[in-house]
Amino acid sequence: MAIKLERCGPNRWRIPREGKMRTEGLVFASESMVDLLREENALQQVANVATLPGIVGPSIAMPDIHWGYGFPIGGVAAFDPDEGVVSPGGVGYDINCGVRLLRSAMHAAQLRPLLPQLADVLFRNVPSGVGSSRRDLRLSAGDYRQLLTQGAGWAIRQGFGTAGDLEHIEARGAIAGADPDRISERAQERGRAQLGTLGSGNHFLEVQEVETIEDEAAARVLGLFPGQVTVTVHTGSRGFGYQVCDDHLRVMRQASRKYGIELPDPQLCCAPLASPEGKEYLAAMACAANFAFANRQLIAHWVRESFEQVTGLGPADLRLNLVYDVCHNIAKFEDHVVAGRQRRLCVHRKGATRAFPPGHPETPAPYREIGQPVLIPGDMGRYSYVLVGTAGGFAETFGSTCHGAGRVLSRHAAKKAARGQDILADLAARGILVRAASRATVAEEISAAYKDVMEVVGVVQAAGIGKIVARLRPMAVIKG
């Protein structure tokens, strides 16, 4: 079935309500992106989400939308707590996949001579490949329970970071309602083996340089300046989250039948938010989200240690402080105003980043004037972006924006495009060092495999659902 798409504003397209849809679809995209989108099934997925019970407002798609299992990646959907549903497919396998940005007091020129050594040390200190882990990280059963309920706070209390970090993490690094008793043994086991690891694919750790500043006032508040060294960590809840998702997809397949929810695609399986199955998923999802917050906290700690080891500078000189840590795969209860009425809603963001506006109580106090920082990773050969949330986005997208670039080439096609090129040497010639655990990762993650993230954030800014602050250029990339 061809999906109807009508322009409904600048960089906005409507999928009109048809058939079993309970609401319309709202897609943020430029003219050229829409032509590509028409060839994909992702728009059908936006329409599929619109059929779910209790959806409030439109089924929303960000400019980096692409096909996902069930919900599209780049999708946002809000549900009423009484009439609505929660769906593991609306969060994704990698629960609380997210991005963390650290700034430093160093200039890129200062670090450049030490970069090869730093890349090696980071690659050694932060486990990335399949089967690798930090042998010195051992968890008792009691520790594990605390990690799952306290997230980043647990890691900080164990000595991985400082108390000041918490204020700079979405939800202060822990989602409420986590119940470790809802976690399968297999999820526990996978988590235990992979805590403090980066993972492979599009996950990465990057040492970067602030390349351009577009909003000087906001950059000053975020502590960013041109030429500054920053570090970005992009990872999530590892095997723990994948297993929680898998465990609950099974439960939800049965729950959908039990509650008579008609599904256009079995991967959309869900349960009412008010049902035992829905509540159990949210309690398990919160554990996985907290696992991911702790995971990024541990990795950031080893980043700080690696910098100290290589530069010989102490924390007071390096000032590797947390700018922000934000998730882009999550379902959360939040207060939003819909048709003039304040409502508590469960907002699903799958490949979409929370982007709260200036003045919002959940925007951290130091950033209250400028809005919540939004971190948008690009590909390893180009750049990543720092944005802030806007009031317009809060009203129109439940305070959400894009999350990245999105693939345009399959892995096979990327490998073919990379054939005959020495990708590592080409990147090194451009001042980008890469350390990767797998050969395939390097070829599959070439820039040409991704959309240009500049186009994505350009649409976001033009549509008013995010404001660009700075662009970061990779110097050293660590990949699984």
Residues that bind other proteins (CB under 8 A): 40, 66-69, 73, 93-94, 129-132, 186, 189-190, 193-194, 199-201, 239, 242, 245-246, 249, 253, 266-267, 407-413, 437-441, 444, 480
Which residues, listed in sequence order, are joined to residue 353 by a DSSP beta bridge?
Answer: 401
CA distances from 82 to 21, 89, 255, 260 (A): 19, 20, 16, 16
Q: Which residue's CB is nearer to other proteins, number 73 or number 331?
A: 73
Lookup result for tokens 């200062």: 110
**Cα separation of 248 and 244, whole Å?**
6
Shortest distance, CB of residue 63 to other proteins, whole angstroms?
Answer: 16
Amino acid at 294: A
Q: Which residue's CB is nearer to other proteins, number 267 or number 309?
A: 267
Cβ(412)–Cβ(418) below 8 Å: no
Cβ(403)–Cβ(74) below 8 Å: yes
Structural tokens at position 197 = 């690891």
Shortest distance, CB of residue 69 to other proteins, whole angstroms?
Answer: 5
Shortest distance, CB of residue 469 to other proteins, whole angstroms?
Answer: 28
Angle subtended by helix axes 276-311 and 238-258, to nearest 10: 170
Shortest distance, CB of residue 445 to other proteins, whole angstroms?
Answer: 10
- Give residues with Cβ within 8 angstroms of 138, minimum separation 6: none
Please list the active-site residues: 403
Amino acid at 328: H
Shortest distance, CB of residue 185 to other proteins, whole angstroms?
Answer: 12
Residue 362 phi, psi (nearest 5): -90, -5
Q: Which residue's CB is nearer to other proteins, number 4 or number 439?
A: 439
Q: Which residue's CB is nearer to other proteins, number 51 or number 228?
A: 51
Q: Which residue's CB is nearer to other proteins, number 88 or number 474?
A: 88
**Cα separation of 472 and 304, whole Å?**
19
